A and B are shown apart, each in its own frame.
Chain A
Amino acid sequence: MTAAVELVDFDDVVARFDPVMGIEVHVELSTNTKMFCGCPTEFGAEPNTQVCPVCLGLPGALPVVNRAAVESAIRIGLALNCSIAPWGRFARKNYFYPDMPKNFQTSQYDEPIAVDGFLDLTLDDGEVVRIGIERAHMEEDTGKSLHVGGATGRIHGADHSLLDYNRAGVPLIEIVTKMIPDTGARAPEVARAYVTALRDLIKSLGVSDVRMDQGSMRADVNLSLSPKGSGTLGTRTETKNVNSLRSVERAVRHEMGRQAAVLDAGGEIVQETRHFDEQTGHTRAGRRKETSEDYRYFPEPDLVPIAPSAEWIEELRATLPELPWERRRRIQDEWGVSDEEIRDLVNAGALDLVEATVAAGAPSQEARSWWVSYLAQQANTRSVELADLAITPEQVARVVELVASGELTNKLARQVVDGVLDGEGSPDEVVAARGLKVVSDEGELIAAVDAALAAQPDVAEKIRGGKVQAAGAIVGAVMKATKGQADAKRVRELVIERVGA
């Protein structure tokens, strides 16, 4: 393990070095069954209950490719603007590890199903960065090990390990970028934006739930530094275990500072695997391998080649949903909002929510206003994600409707929303339970106005004498009497009316 080094200040790093990145993302597909057998893929089942001779690697068992996984891979490839390989084989990647039942991983090696695409990202300031996609290929996941004894489930110092193969054989798509040069100080931001955009894209395809927290999307970040203007490529490290969007950004930033420190000290960057620690935000070196890896790839003899026809590819292309950038453009047109506004919505994680609220009948202006201001504040106060607030877009739309119809004032509406968030029921239930409806019964209001005028005859006299601004005192009294549930504008009209009558 290398000793902790003093990181070089980020601005200093980018002043003297050019970072070059490469990002590999593994996505677990949400197919019903595994890549090569009919076992279910559901997360969280009892250990070793979603296994069969094939995914347990029992002697004699043979794989058969899941058509839906291939279709998902092709759709991801098409959405990433890749070419789909007209012919390709699976290969075996040979290495021993207890979580891998066959001691080889069935993967695509030099014949990936999708190659040479790109994904355009829009950064916070509106700059568009094109990330080249080298390849997307299919492979299978490994089982899970539980390390017993020693420190808190860590592999080091464990006494023994327990293996669960439910995850073994779950279909994975690995998406590899081309080298990402010339991002300078924006490298951490670009890395995060790329993983975010990829996540949104794959989510829109409906092929994975892309939950980084559950491991259904995992990122590995390759990074190297080269002295500015040198034109040479530095030695890269690969940082694994980067399991949140924020961590992607932090890992890049940390690794830049660390590598610069090593280089400044006259050291050499070791080509190695590093692990990201969520707690400290640091990367640490993995254990060095005794022998250099030699995966001895060769074509998988138990599976025949995949040769997607042009017709099949076009059929799949036709099933692509509206992709995130297309959707954003359409929404912008429909709602008439600016680039900045749409970006704010996306960054706030509010776009889906606002769209659903609009779909439930609310005008886009009101829907946007609720989600980015009051509800965003509430999410902040309550320390939850916007999407995890206990209110649905339909409920927000109902509140907007109640305000528009005059049944609620904006102030009352906020109280109704508070009630919903506190679990008191639907907006209508909160209105009823808390008695928050605007007092719109004219008779009731007239009685309240008359009572207030009678209580302050001098003020009534002033108004009658033309000092209309004196009506404020009466309106205030009426509002107080109705606990704020009256429409102040209407009260004012009634005061003038009653005095003049």
Chain B
Amino acid sequence: MPNMMRTRWLPVLMLALSLLAAGAPTPARGQGGSVTLNLVSWSYGVEIVRDNIGKFQQRYPGVTVNYNDFSWATYHDAMVARFVSKTPTDVLYSSDHWLQEWAAAGWIVPVDEQFPQVRQYLTEYSPFVREALTYKGRIYGTPYYADTFIFVYNTDHLQQAGLATPPATLEELTRQAETIKAKGIAEFPIVLGWGQQDPFSIESFTSLVFAQRNGSLFDKDLTPTFKAPGSAAEKVVTWAADALGSRKVLSPTSLQAANVDQIRALQSGAASFGIIPSYSLAVLNDPGQTQLAGKFKIGLMPGESHATVGFIRFYAISSQVPRRGKEAMTAAWSFVDYFGGKTDGEYRVTKRWSLEKGLGFAQTALFADKDIRAAFGKWADVDMLQKQAQLARAKEGMTPYYGTWDVFSRAELHKAYLGQQKPAETLGNMAKKWEELKAKAK
């Protein structure tokens, strides 16, 4: 009988042990090295990332990197889930959209507190990059890439329509689009990546606002200026609603399009004008991807000031790392420094991204780099690219609640574009939401 009892208890014991084993934490130390880092990024150039990780591990044999990636459109939500559930995450990609939100939530840590040497890079960055990497005076990482939103046009379409130069203002853009439409060259000559799921959409919209006279969204006290009658934002929203609704020159697919969909529409010749992050021009003019390669050029952002949004995506360190101890923190800094800083006196990884994928950079001096000029020259007018970059500004209203306001605004803007409500009403709602979030944050 005792034997039988033991046999009965055995499965219970085994189940309990297996549950304990399943719940055991992932070891922080890897097999190949003394510290394991969990890297999370969005899915872009994954093979290059893996190769860079290999090179990093060769240089730092004591560090092993585990790598996970998520799509750009769902990255924010996936990261929120990871942070809240405390899924092991050590180094990660982040964006200036989310820096303040993630820092305020305590999910990422300032790098310069323990590694003040990160500040040595600041002088080499464009002003908008310095601003975008900083929260409460602290630096939160090193740049993965920094880029600007540019206005692009199909030279063939303009030539066929008898247009000598690209549009300089929004009014001119509408006129040129109407000419192209009237001549049957493109049914909807303008396409934009204004789908609600794409975090790029607010940056694309803001670029157009910045390009207008007095183009601004907030004042220094973070009070919304966009709701004022006749504001640059109202001009842009009114223009978009008109282009989509009455004149039918803005493609309706813009409201569901992500940046990649916009690129496809341009590559197929279905559209003539678009607003894209500048690295996407490398894809547009890639002969391996489209027969229209070489036909796309940069025009300054349509508007009186031609200003645009400069943005940054960066390598950040999760707040889980300091809790793991000094060794892990040093390894994380090595990673962030290797990927976004200098190795043997040069920005090796940054330069690789620029050469192979056309990604922009935070370091203004790289515009003079011979290799980069040659590589960029294959798909863009580098001087023009630099000219637009010099007019770039960081997004305004960067606060812990910007992300919430951004998501709210994307839906509100759609209502105005679709004619469901007047532009002033949309902007009023956006301002109200902003004030509500601002009041709660105090």
Do A and B associate with each other? no
Q: Which residues of B contact A (CB under 8 A)?
A: none
Q: Which residues of A contact B (CB under 8 A)?
A: none
